[in-house]
Amino acid sequence: MKHLLDKIEARQQLIRETAGQLREQIALLTEQLTAAERTLERLDITRATMLELAAEDGIEPPEPLPPGYREVLAAFEQAGHGLRAREICEILGIGTEPRHTENIRAKLKRLVDRDILTEPEPGLFTLSRPTPSSPAESG
């Protein structure tokens, strides 16, 4: 009987330690979640302010990009240089079969049409660089 009680006590101690570790992880995750929510709130406010200011100046807000396009643009920002459709597929972790690369290539072409990307040579895409406005345009 003493042997069983010792086993139970050892198991209780192990579970107490595990529970303590889990509480620490929860506290850390709660801090990270709070920080992420604060950042999201600030970004929401910034976006709303920018749209208000644009409306005051009579500027049409840009049409938002669907998530798949945002992922493609993030790949360019991460890479920091021109990419081909196959490279985007690899970065995004999707297949590199023709159906995947052609889907990405179509997205890249649409981004070129919107002047978000450029195609300096066939099949190579880069982020468009914003052209600096002249003082007369900014005033």
Q: pLDDT tens across 13-24, in order?
A: 999 999 999 999
Radius of gyration of the chain (CA): 26
Instruction: Provide the whole-model pTM.
Output: 0.52
pLDDT tens, 52-105? 898 898 888 777 788 788 889 989 988 889 999 999 999 999 988 999 999 999
Q: Rounded to a whole number, what is the distance in angstroms from the first to the last CA of the chain?
A: 88
Burial of residue 83 (number of CB atoms within 10 Å: 0-12, 13-18, 19+): buried
Enter the tokens of residue 25: 């992880």
